Structure formats: structure tokens, C-alpha cells
Chain A
Amino acid sequence: MDPAIRTQDLTRIYRKARSRGEPQGEFRALDGVNLEVRPGELFGLLGPNGAGKSTLIKILSTLLFPTSGLAQVCGLDVVKQCEQVRERINMVSGGEPSGYGLLTIREQLWVFSQLYGLTTKTALERIDRALEQYGLANDAGTKINRLSTGMRQKMNLIRGFMTNPTVLFLDEPTLGLDVHIARQTRDYIRSWMAEDRSRTILLTTHYMAEAEDLCDRVAIIHAGKIRACDTPANLIAAFRRETVFELTLAGLDGRAAELRNLAGVTVVRLDSDPAAGRTTVRLSMPDDAALPAVLGGIAGLGGRILNLSKNEVTLEDVFVGIAGRSFADAEKQEE
């Protein structure tokens, strides 16, 4: 059986607009990506903003040409056989502002169903069922220009699901959603997958917990390259030799950034709240033995420990271990 998705040495280079006095630049969004997703998998692509996730999805959904390499969906080349690929896929992006403001949710979904050859009867049956399942039934007659971000995103997801694609691409589906709707969305994704075991989803996210919670396998992408690919449990197990501590500190007085210079540890996450005079830092280190030296370093910076806990390794720690920097730092670098 063909893989649901396969890429081989997939590369995409964007040409940057020429600035005054500067030569034309290039941005390598994807750099030799090799990936294989099996039919029936809920596969996560995890990486910070600018890592290349959306570019990969745009290529697989036939909206963008690769610069080089091969990309296949259901064994079909996305460049040469794009029309056949389109019959098998759908895609939904998080934060998508799509739709026509004067139409209602139900009308909007019907319009988009017509692009996939569904009869009106079938389309409306599927739409009504999905609206019911996803808690939107009472809002079916609400116009698009009156929808909240969460309702709009629910509608967009139904648009992707209702055509029953063999492969569905979800590009950051919970972006900007509150905790409750994000959880509803993850439940809906799971139930849609459970309905038919041949369905495949490629989901991009930069929420670690989401990838850990939802995905059968995860690929970590950074700077256009796939850095690791396995089940979340295996990825975490491979990094379990690391020890992770989370500390809440006071008294650093603007010196929080210097925590990054502490020897023998990697700063996974650093959140400073100058107004409250507190800093939360997540540190990864090879073993507990390094801890006394770290605590000494913190005291040297004037820091007082308010709380210290030893934590389980998460995908976030795995990412830092692979990329050598946190998501936030990687995103700053891309900017």
C-alpha cells in the first residue's frame, strides 16, 4: 500500500524581495525533507513559527511548487498529478479568515461542499451532523460576520472534514483558540479519525502538549529540516536521560537573561514577570549532580528560590535537546 504522504529530498526556497542596496536574498523554508506518513495515522509536524510547517502543507495540498525533490499524496505526485491529489485531500488552516460575511454557517459550508461534487442532500446531512457533533447546531443560522474566532474555526474544521478526504491537512488547527474550544477541537479530530481507520491527518502545531496528546507519530522540524521522527513516547524516552527542573525565582532584578549562561544546563523556557519580580525557568541537565552548581550560579546572580520541582521530560524538552534552543528562541531567530 502506498504511504498516505511521502516526501523525498523536498526543498523549497523563497526569493526575498530585494532591499535597497542589498542583493536579492533567499530563504530556504524546506531543506531536503524526507517524510513518510502511513495511511490511518494522525501525524504531527512540530516546530516553531518559521520552521517550514506551513510551507510543507502548502506543497502537499497543491498550492505551492517545491523548488526540488518529490512530494506524493496517496502515491500521486502533487505537481504532476495535482488534479487527482485534490480529489483526495482537504486542508484547514488555523486563524483562517475565510468565508463570506453575509452567509450563515450552514450556507457557507454548503457552498464549499459544492466544490467537491456533493449533492445538496448529502452535503446538508453531513453539515447538520457535524454541526451537532461539534456543538454548533444552534448557530447554524448565524452569519459569518458575527462569529467569534472559536466558532469560525469550528466552521472551518467542519469544512475540511465534511468532504471525507483520504488525507486531511490541519495547519495549526487550535491556533488562537481558548482552552475549552481547543479541547473540543482535539476531541472532534479524534472522533473523526475513529470513524474510519483509513483516514490520515497531517497536523502541524507548535503546541507541544497538543502533539503529545493527539498524534500517533511526530516529526520535529526546525529550520526547514526534519530533526527527529517517532512516536511521542519514543522521542521522550530517548531524552529521558536528561533531568528537567522547573524553578520559580525572585530577586534577579533584570538579570534573568543571564540564567542562559549557567554552565552545564540548557534553558528550555524562561518566563520573566518583572512587575511581580518573579522568573520561571525550566532547565534541562544531564543528571542531578549538576544541580548544586546551578543553584550556586543562581545565588550568584542574586536569585532566591521560591519553588523547585523535578519534572517529567516533555516534547518541549526533546525539541530543545534536538534544536539546541527553545521554541521561543528559535522563533526569535527566524524573525
Chain B
Amino acid sequence: MSSLRNNLRAAGARAWIRVVAANRELSWVWFETFLPALTTACYVFIYRAMGAAPEFESYVILGGIMIGFWLNVLWGMAAQFFWEKDMGNLDIYMMAPISRMAILLGMALGGMTGTAMRSVVILLLGIFAFRVRFEVAGLATAFGIFLLTMASLYGLGMMLSSLFLLFGRGAQRWAEAAQEPIYLLAGFYFPVRNLGFGVAAAASLFPLALGIDAMRQTALGSRAGFLPVGVEAAALAALTVLFGLLARTMLRTMENRAKTEGKLTLKWQ
């Protein structure tokens, strides 16, 4: 019990750093909210110019909301161990009597706060500038799907962070390489079923592909869903468990390898 309390304390403190740092350097509001909103607006205008059905504009808005969470997982969480090592903080976390997952949870929660702001701006843009209509009856289910998506997405982030623990800058290149393909595979700007069944099924290993698709079906009444909402929710739940277990194992394995190879700390001698 005290171990759980200590880990929650640690997670809370790590999340607090993100929140307080964001409040003290407000330039991020411009870069993290206004500029991404422009990209989303750009896709809306593309659909309008093509004369596509109005629901496609709604799909884009929802995709734009979720992109921020992917970027947060990739750069604000998975890569964070690398940055912590670079700043000289990793030693401090690694020799503390707490779970590594508590630290990552703190990074995730702190990062979500900033990402939520970006998402709200895009949501407001959608509602007031582009007249996006939501299915009120489906909002509760959509919120549940959103939480499941976040749980599995951040579980994936914890797995990725173990790679950064060992490979450092090398892992950063993989992350850079993964960023853009995920924009395609997750269907941020279009219904994922347009990729064809095989590719969409493979893309479903990435939680955002299923999560966005299910939220479009529940919150926007999309009839262009890839799989039934219940199946997608079950798959997300399974991915959450799978990624959580894998993250725990991978973090331990990669930490042990880093300790064997002397890669956990900057000062090796």
C-alpha cells in the first residue's frame, strides 16, 4: 500500500513539473495550439474544395484533436528518458525506490494537460468555425472509448520509452521515422477503412486507428466505420492490457541491458 502511495506521489510530482513549466513558458500555447489548428483547418478546406460530404470535415476535426496525443506520447513520453539522461536527471529517477512506470505515468499525465488544451482549441474551432455536429447520445460512449484509447496509447508509449532507455539518440531516429506514417495509418484525416481491410487491420495494432474510428462512429454518427464499435472497444481493452504487460517487461529488460552495457548514465567512468 505504501509502495502504491509512493509511486502515486512520484507520478504526481513528475506530472506537476510539466504543468508548472507550461504555465511559466506560455509560448507553447502559440506553437502547440494555434499552429496545429491551422493544419486541421487546411484539411477541412481541402474536403470543401472537393465538394465532399460535410461529415468528412467532422472526421478531420476529430483526427486533429487526437494527433496531439500521439505527438505527446512520442516526444513527451517515449523520448523523455532520453531527454532526462541528457539533462542528467535519469540517474536520480533510476536509483529512486519507485517504479519506472510511475515516472512515465507522471510524464503522461502532465503531458496530457497541455495536449488537452490543444485538443480543446481544435474542438472549438470545429464547433464554431466549421459547424461540426456531434451525436449527443453517443458522447458518453465516445468518452469511454477515448479513455480506453488513451490507456492503450500511453501503454504503447511506455513500451517505446524502454527503447529510448537503451538506444538513446538511435531510438529518436526511429521515432522520427514513425511519426508521419502513423498520420496515414491512424486515419487522422480520413476513415481508416479506406486503406482496405488488410492494411486497416494491421493499422489497428496502433490504438489511435481503432480509437478514432470508434469515436467517429459514436460521437459523429459515422457510417464509414472499419469494425463495429463493440469489437473496436474490446480490441482497445486487449491492447491496453497487452501494452501494459509488455511495457513492464520491456522496461525491466532494457534497463538491465543498459546497466550491463553501461548506457544508463552519462558519466561512465
Using a CB–CB cutoff of 8 Å, the interface residues on chain A facing chain B are 14-15, 29, 49-50, 52, 54-55, 58, 61-65, 83, 86-87, 89-91, 93, 96-100, 102-103, 107, 110-112, 114-117, 159
Q: Is the CB of B9 within 8 A of A117?
A: yes
Q: Is the CB of A91 within 8 A of B14?
A: no
A residues less than 8 Å from B12 (CB atoms): 114
**Bound complex: CA of A290 vs CA of B95, how far in Å?**
53
Total contacting residues, chain B, CB less than 8 A: 35
Interface string of B139-177 (1 = CB under 8 A from A): 000000000000000000000000000000000000000
Q: Is the CB of A91 within 8 A of B95?
A: yes
Q: Is the CB of B97 within 8 A of A63?
A: no
A residues less than 8 Å from B265 (CB atoms): 58, 63-64
Q: Is the CB of B92 within 8 A of A159?
A: yes
A111-B2 CB under 8 A given contacts A86-B97, A93-B91: no
- Chain B minimum-CB-distance residue to A118: B9
A residues less than 8 Å from B264 (CB atoms): 63-64
**Bound complex: CA of A282 vs CA of B20, how far in Å?**
55
Interface string of B202-232 (1 = CB under 8 A from A): 0000000000000000000000000000000
A residues less than 8 Å from B268 (CB atoms): 14, 54-55
CB distance from A262 to the nearest CB of B (A): 33
The 7 closest A-B pairs by CB, nearest first: A114-B13, A117-B6, A115-B96, A86-B97, A98-B88, A97-B88, A87-B97
Interface string of B1-28 (1 = CB under 8 A from A): 0100110011011101100110011000
Q: Is the CB of B21 within 8 A of A102?
A: yes
B residues less than 8 Å from A15 (CB atoms): 261
**Bound complex: CA of A156 vs CA of B256, how far in Å?**
26
CB distance from B84 to the nearest CB of A (A): 9
- Within 8 Å by CB of B92, from A87, A112, A117, lies A112
- Chain B minimum-CB-distance residue to A93: B267
CB distance from B165 to the nearest CB of A (A): 12
Q: Is the CB of B95 within 8 A of A90?
A: yes
Q: Is the CB of B262 within 8 A of A50?
A: no
A64-B95 CB under 8 A given contacts A114-B12, A115-B13: no
Interface contacts beyond A63-B91, A100-B21: sample of 16 additional A-B pairs, CB < 8 Å, sorted by A: A14-B268, A49-B269, A62-B95, A63-B264, A65-B260, A89-B95, A91-B95, A97-B88, A98-B89, A102-B20, A102-B25, A115-B10, A115-B98, A116-B96, A117-B5, A117-B6
B residues 233-259 touching A (CB-CB < 8 Å): 256, 259
Name the residue among A96, A103, A114, A116 with the largest chain B CB count within 10 angstroms.
Answer: A114
**Bound complex: CA of A97 vs CA of B88, how far in Å?**
6
Name the residue among B6, B21, B24, B92 with the largest chain A CB count within 10 angstroms.
Answer: B92
- Chain A minimum-CB-distance residue to B13: A114
- Within 8 Å by CB of A116, from B24, B97, B256, B262, lies B97
- Chain B minimum-CB-distance residue to A159: B92
- Within 8 Å by CB of B14, from A61, A111, A116, A117, lies A111
Interface string of B94-130 (1 = CB under 8 A from A): 1111100000000000000000000000000000000
A residues less than 8 Å from B21 (CB atoms): 100, 102-103
- Chain B minimum-CB-distance residue to A113: B13
CB distance from B169 to the nearest CB of A (A): 14
B residues less than 8 Å from A97 (CB atoms): 87-88
**Bound complex: CA of A103 vs CA of B89, how far in Å?**
14
Q: Tell me if B75 is interfacial: C-beta within 8 Å of chain A.
A: no
A115-B91 CB under 8 A given contacts A58-B265, A103-B17: no
8 residue pairs from A and B, CB less than 8 Å apart: A62-B95, A63-B264, A90-B95, A100-B87, A111-B16, A114-B9, A114-B12, A159-B92
A residues less than 8 Å from B96 (CB atoms): 86, 115-116
B residues less than 8 Å from A96 (CB atoms): 88
- Within 8 Å by CB of B87, from A55, A98, A114, lies A98
CB distance from B12 to the nearest CB of A (A): 7
**Bound complex: CA of A49 vs CA of B267, how far in Å?**
12
- Within 8 Å by CB of A63, from B5, B14, B16, B259, lies B259
